Structure 1
Amino acid sequence: MAGQSEIVPVRVEKMIPNKLIRFRWAASEGIYAPEEGKTPHPGGYDTTVEITFESLNKGETLVKIIEGEWRNTEDGLQGSYQNCQGWTNMSCCLKAYVEYGVNLRKGFF
Protein backbone atom coordinates (compact mmCIF):
# COMPACT_ATOMS: atom_id res chain seq x y z
CA MET A 1 0.00 0.00 0.00
CA ALA A 2 1.35 3.39 -0.98
CA GLY A 3 3.42 5.11 1.66
CA GLN A 4 3.81 2.01 3.82
CA SER A 5 6.68 -0.45 4.10
CA GLU A 6 5.91 -4.09 4.66
CA ILE A 7 7.95 -7.19 5.32
CA VAL A 8 6.40 -10.02 3.35
CA PRO A 9 7.83 -13.50 4.01
CA VAL A 10 8.30 -15.70 0.95
CA ARG A 11 9.31 -19.34 0.55
CA VAL A 12 11.55 -19.75 -2.47
CA GLU A 13 10.77 -23.02 -4.22
CA LYS A 14 13.08 -22.83 -7.20
CA MET A 15 15.62 -20.46 -8.67
CA ILE A 16 17.57 -20.78 -11.90
CA PRO A 17 19.87 -17.78 -12.46
CA ASN A 18 18.74 -15.61 -15.39
CA LYS A 19 15.81 -17.97 -16.07
CA LEU A 20 13.35 -18.53 -13.21
CA ILE A 21 12.28 -17.44 -9.74
CA ARG A 22 9.41 -19.38 -8.14
CA PHE A 23 8.12 -18.68 -4.64
CA ARG A 24 5.06 -18.97 -2.43
CA TRP A 25 3.62 -16.30 -0.18
CA ALA A 26 0.50 -15.61 1.82
CA ALA A 27 -2.53 -14.53 -0.19
CA SER A 28 -4.34 -11.34 0.72
CA GLU A 29 -7.96 -11.12 -0.32
CA GLY A 30 -10.35 -8.24 -0.77
CA ILE A 31 -10.03 -4.76 -2.18
CA TYR A 32 -7.84 -1.83 -1.18
CA ALA A 33 -10.22 1.12 -0.99
CA PRO A 34 -9.36 3.06 2.18
CA GLU A 35 -11.82 5.81 1.30
CA GLU A 36 -14.53 3.18 1.70
CA GLY A 37 -12.91 1.64 4.78
CA LYS A 38 -11.87 -1.47 2.82
CA THR A 39 -8.46 -3.09 3.09
CA PRO A 40 -7.24 -6.54 2.05
CA HIS A 41 -7.25 -9.27 4.68
CA PRO A 42 -5.25 -12.51 5.04
CA GLY A 43 -6.71 -15.25 2.87
CA GLY A 44 -5.36 -18.10 5.00
CA TYR A 45 -3.59 -19.80 2.08
CA ASP A 46 -0.57 -19.26 -0.18
CA THR A 47 -0.28 -18.38 -3.84
CA THR A 48 2.61 -19.35 -6.11
CA VAL A 49 4.47 -16.70 -8.08
CA GLU A 50 6.60 -17.67 -11.05
CA ILE A 51 8.80 -15.10 -12.76
CA THR A 52 10.56 -16.22 -15.93
CA PHE A 53 13.18 -14.42 -17.99
CA GLU A 54 13.57 -15.23 -21.68
CA SER A 55 16.41 -13.73 -23.68
CA LEU A 56 15.17 -12.38 -27.00
CA ASN A 57 17.32 -10.18 -29.21
CA LYS A 58 20.53 -8.59 -27.97
CA GLY A 59 19.67 -6.42 -24.98
CA GLU A 60 16.05 -7.60 -24.83
CA THR A 61 14.48 -9.87 -22.23
CA LEU A 62 10.89 -11.02 -21.97
CA VAL A 63 9.75 -11.11 -18.34
CA LYS A 64 6.64 -13.15 -17.53
CA ILE A 65 4.96 -13.09 -14.13
CA ILE A 66 2.29 -15.61 -13.22
CA GLU A 67 0.62 -15.77 -9.82
CA GLY A 68 -1.90 -18.50 -9.24
CA GLU A 69 -4.02 -20.57 -6.91
CA TRP A 70 -6.39 -17.79 -5.88
CA ARG A 71 -9.74 -18.79 -4.42
CA ASN A 72 -12.63 -18.43 -6.84
CA THR A 73 -14.55 -16.05 -4.58
CA GLU A 74 -15.25 -12.33 -4.88
CA ASP A 75 -12.57 -11.54 -2.27
CA GLY A 76 -10.11 -13.98 -3.86
CA LEU A 77 -10.60 -12.40 -7.27
CA GLN A 78 -10.23 -8.91 -5.82
CA GLY A 79 -6.97 -10.00 -4.19
CA SER A 80 -5.69 -11.30 -7.52
CA TYR A 81 -6.60 -8.01 -9.22
CA GLN A 82 -4.79 -6.02 -6.52
CA ASN A 83 -1.67 -8.16 -6.98
CA CYS A 84 -1.91 -7.83 -10.76
CA GLN A 85 -1.75 -4.06 -10.30
CA GLY A 86 1.24 -4.51 -8.00
CA TRP A 87 3.07 -6.72 -10.51
CA THR A 88 2.37 -4.17 -13.26
CA ASN A 89 3.89 -1.44 -11.10
CA MET A 90 6.87 -3.62 -10.19
CA SER A 91 7.49 -4.45 -13.86
CA CYS A 92 7.46 -0.77 -14.86
CA CYS A 93 9.81 0.08 -11.98
CA LEU A 94 12.16 -2.76 -12.96
CA LYS A 95 12.26 -1.56 -16.57
CA ALA A 96 13.04 2.03 -15.55
CA TYR A 97 15.81 0.84 -13.23
CA VAL A 98 17.42 -1.63 -15.66
CA GLU A 99 17.26 0.65 -18.71
CA TYR A 100 17.80 4.10 -17.16
CA GLY A 101 19.02 3.60 -13.58
CA VAL A 102 15.92 5.37 -12.24
CA ASN A 103 14.42 4.06 -8.98
CA LEU A 104 10.68 4.74 -9.30
CA ARG A 105 9.94 2.94 -6.03
CA LYS A 106 12.04 5.25 -3.84
CA GLY A 107 9.69 7.38 -1.80
CA PHE A 108 6.62 5.56 -3.10
CA PHE A 109 6.73 2.55 -0.79
Structure 2
Amino acid sequence: MEPQFSVFGHIGQPVVRVYEAVADPDQLARYFTTGGARGRLVSGATVWWDFHDFPGEFPVQVIEATPPERIVLEWDSNEPVPEGEAPRRTRVTFAFDATDDGRTRVEISESGWAGTDTGFRASYGNCMGWSQMLCALKAWLEYGINLREGMYR
Protein backbone atom coordinates (compact mmCIF):
# COMPACT_ATOMS: atom_id res chain seq x y z
CA MET A 1 0.00 0.00 0.00
CA GLU A 2 1.28 3.46 -0.95
CA PRO A 3 1.21 6.13 1.78
CA GLN A 4 -1.18 8.99 1.10
CA PHE A 5 -3.22 11.42 3.16
CA SER A 6 -5.67 14.32 3.07
CA VAL A 7 -6.11 17.05 5.66
CA PHE A 8 -8.63 19.88 5.64
CA GLY A 9 -9.72 22.98 7.49
CA HIS A 10 -12.12 25.90 7.18
CA ILE A 11 -10.79 29.43 6.79
CA GLY A 12 -13.05 32.38 7.60
CA GLN A 13 -12.33 34.23 4.36
CA PRO A 14 -13.71 34.13 0.79
CA VAL A 15 -12.25 31.49 -1.52
CA VAL A 16 -10.47 34.01 -3.78
CA ARG A 17 -8.58 35.50 -0.82
CA VAL A 18 -7.60 32.06 0.53
CA TYR A 19 -6.43 30.86 -2.90
CA GLU A 20 -4.31 34.01 -3.30
CA ALA A 21 -2.71 33.51 0.13
CA VAL A 22 -1.32 30.20 -1.19
CA ALA A 23 -0.58 31.18 -4.83
CA ASP A 24 1.11 34.53 -4.14
CA PRO A 25 4.74 34.09 -2.96
CA ASP A 26 4.74 37.30 -0.90
CA GLN A 27 1.71 36.17 1.09
CA LEU A 28 2.95 32.56 1.42
CA ALA A 29 6.22 33.82 2.93
CA ARG A 30 4.33 35.71 5.66
CA TYR A 31 2.96 32.56 7.31
CA PHE A 32 4.49 29.40 5.78
CA THR A 33 7.76 29.61 3.80
CA THR A 34 9.71 31.38 6.54
CA GLY A 35 12.83 31.63 4.35
CA GLY A 36 10.87 33.06 1.44
CA ALA A 37 9.14 31.97 -1.74
CA ARG A 38 10.06 32.86 -5.32
CA GLY A 39 7.51 32.55 -8.09
CA ARG A 40 3.76 32.60 -8.28
CA LEU A 41 1.92 29.26 -8.38
CA VAL A 42 0.77 29.18 -12.02
CA SER A 43 0.43 26.12 -14.26
CA GLY A 44 3.75 24.95 -15.66
CA ALA A 45 5.94 27.10 -13.39
CA THR A 46 8.78 25.97 -11.18
CA VAL A 47 8.87 28.01 -7.98
CA TRP A 48 11.33 27.99 -5.09
CA TRP A 49 10.46 27.64 -1.42
CA ASP A 50 12.74 28.05 1.58
CA PHE A 51 12.18 27.46 5.30
CA HIS A 52 14.46 28.82 8.04
CA ASP A 53 13.75 25.72 10.11
CA PHE A 54 14.53 23.28 7.23
CA PRO A 55 17.38 25.10 5.48
CA GLY A 56 17.90 24.99 1.78
CA GLU A 57 15.79 26.46 -0.98
CA PHE A 58 14.16 23.78 -3.13
CA PRO A 59 12.14 23.64 -6.35
CA VAL A 60 8.39 23.02 -6.47
CA GLN A 61 6.84 22.22 -9.85
CA VAL A 62 3.33 23.57 -10.46
CA ILE A 63 1.40 20.96 -12.45
CA GLU A 64 -1.90 22.83 -12.38
CA ALA A 65 -3.21 26.10 -11.01
CA THR A 66 -6.91 26.77 -11.60
CA PRO A 67 -7.95 29.89 -9.65
CA PRO A 68 -9.65 29.86 -7.23
CA GLU A 69 -10.35 26.12 -7.09
CA ARG A 70 -7.24 23.97 -7.29
CA ILE A 71 -3.44 23.87 -7.18
CA VAL A 72 -1.43 20.72 -7.93
CA LEU A 73 2.29 20.59 -7.11
CA GLU A 74 5.07 18.02 -7.41
CA TRP A 75 8.32 17.99 -5.50
CA ASP A 76 11.02 15.62 -4.36
CA SER A 77 9.97 13.27 -1.59
CA ASN A 78 11.56 13.76 1.81
CA GLU A 79 12.32 10.04 2.12
CA PRO A 80 15.97 8.87 1.98
CA VAL A 81 17.31 8.22 -1.51
CA PRO A 82 19.56 5.20 -2.15
CA GLU A 83 22.89 6.21 -3.68
CA GLY A 84 22.69 6.59 -7.43
CA GLU A 85 18.89 6.83 -7.53
CA ALA A 86 16.78 9.88 -8.30
CA PRO A 87 14.47 11.10 -5.53
CA ARG A 88 10.86 9.95 -5.63
CA ARG A 89 8.36 12.69 -6.40
CA THR A 90 5.18 13.31 -4.46
CA ARG A 91 2.07 15.10 -5.66
CA VAL A 92 0.31 17.69 -3.50
CA THR A 93 -3.22 18.83 -4.35
CA PHE A 94 -4.92 21.85 -2.81
CA ALA A 95 -8.71 22.04 -3.27
CA PHE A 96 -10.46 25.32 -2.35
CA ASP A 97 -14.23 25.20 -1.92
CA ALA A 98 -16.47 28.13 -1.02
CA THR A 99 -18.97 27.30 1.71
CA ASP A 100 -22.52 28.64 1.98
CA ASP A 101 -21.53 30.84 4.93
CA GLY A 102 -18.72 32.67 3.09
CA ARG A 103 -15.84 30.63 4.44
CA THR A 104 -13.45 28.42 2.45
CA ARG A 105 -12.83 24.72 2.95
CA VAL A 106 -9.22 23.90 2.07
CA GLU A 107 -8.20 20.27 1.55
CA ILE A 108 -4.58 19.27 1.01
CA SER A 109 -3.77 15.76 -0.24
CA GLU A 110 -0.36 14.22 -0.90
CA SER A 111 0.74 10.88 -2.35
CA GLY A 112 3.69 9.23 -4.06
CA TRP A 113 5.95 7.79 -1.36
CA ALA A 114 7.27 4.25 -1.44
CA GLY A 115 5.21 1.72 0.50
CA THR A 116 8.11 1.15 2.90
CA ASP A 117 8.77 2.06 6.53
CA THR A 118 10.82 5.09 5.41
CA GLY A 119 8.12 6.09 2.93
CA PHE A 120 5.45 5.96 5.63
CA ARG A 121 7.64 7.92 8.07
CA ALA A 122 8.27 10.57 5.40
CA SER A 123 4.54 10.85 4.68
CA TYR A 124 3.75 11.28 8.37
CA GLY A 125 6.18 14.22 8.54
CA ASN A 126 4.52 15.89 5.57
CA CYS A 127 1.06 15.23 6.99
CA MET A 128 2.16 17.06 10.15
CA GLY A 129 3.58 19.90 8.05
CA TRP A 130 0.47 20.38 5.91
CA SER A 131 -1.77 20.25 8.99
CA GLN A 132 0.34 22.98 10.55
CA MET A 133 0.25 24.94 7.26
CA LEU A 134 -3.56 24.95 7.39
CA CYS A 135 -3.48 26.24 10.97
CA ALA A 136 -0.93 28.90 9.99
CA LEU A 137 -3.04 29.91 6.97
CA LYS A 138 -6.11 30.29 9.18
CA ALA A 139 -4.26 32.28 11.85
CA TRP A 140 -2.70 34.56 9.24
CA LEU A 141 -5.84 35.29 7.23
CA GLU A 142 -8.20 35.59 10.18
CA TYR A 143 -5.96 37.19 12.83
CA GLY A 144 -2.70 38.35 11.20
CA ILE A 145 -0.65 35.96 13.36
CA ASN A 146 2.36 33.97 12.03
CA LEU A 147 2.19 30.55 13.72
CA ARG A 148 5.06 29.05 11.71
CA GLU A 149 7.83 31.29 13.01
CA GLY A 150 9.89 29.22 15.46
CA MET A 151 7.53 26.23 15.27
CA TYR A 152 10.14 23.61 14.41
CA ARG A 153 13.31 24.86 16.07
**3-state SS, counterpart of residue 94 of structure 2:** strand
2:121 to 70, 75, 78: 78
CA distance in 1, matches of 2:122, 2:147: 24
Q: 1:100 corresponds to which residue?
A: 143
**CA deviation digits over 1:58-88, x for unaligned, max 9?**
3311100000111100000000000000001
2:108 to 48, 60, 65: 65
Partner letter of residue 22 of structure 1?
V
2:94 to 51, 58, 61: 51
How many residues are treated as equivalent by the alignment?
98
Larger RCO of the pair (alpha carbons < 8 Å, separation 6+): 2
Q: Give TM-score scaled by structure 1 length.
A: 0.80
2:75 to 25, 40, 61: 25
Aligned CA RMSD, in angstroms, stands at 2.0
**CA deviation digits over 1:23-64, x for unaligned, max 9?**
1000011xxxxxxxxxxx347110000001000123311100
Distance 1:99 1:42, change over 3 A: farther
Q: 1:15 corresponds to which residue?
A: 65
Partner letter of residue 135 of structure 2?
C
Q: Do 2:88 and 2:112's aligned partners in 1 also have CA atoms closer than 8 Å?
A: no
Q: Give TM-score scaled by structure 2 length.
A: 0.58
Q: Percent identity?
A: 37
Distance 1:42 1:86, change over 3 A: farther
What runs of 5+ residues in structure 1 fail to find an aligned partner? 30-40
Q: Do 2:94 and 2:109's aligned partners in 1 also have CA atoms closer than 8 Å?
A: yes
Over 4 Å off, 4+ runs: none
CA distance in 2, matches of 1:28, 1:4: 11
Once the 2 structures are TM-superposed, how far is the Cα of residue 2 of structure 1 from its aligned partner?
7.5
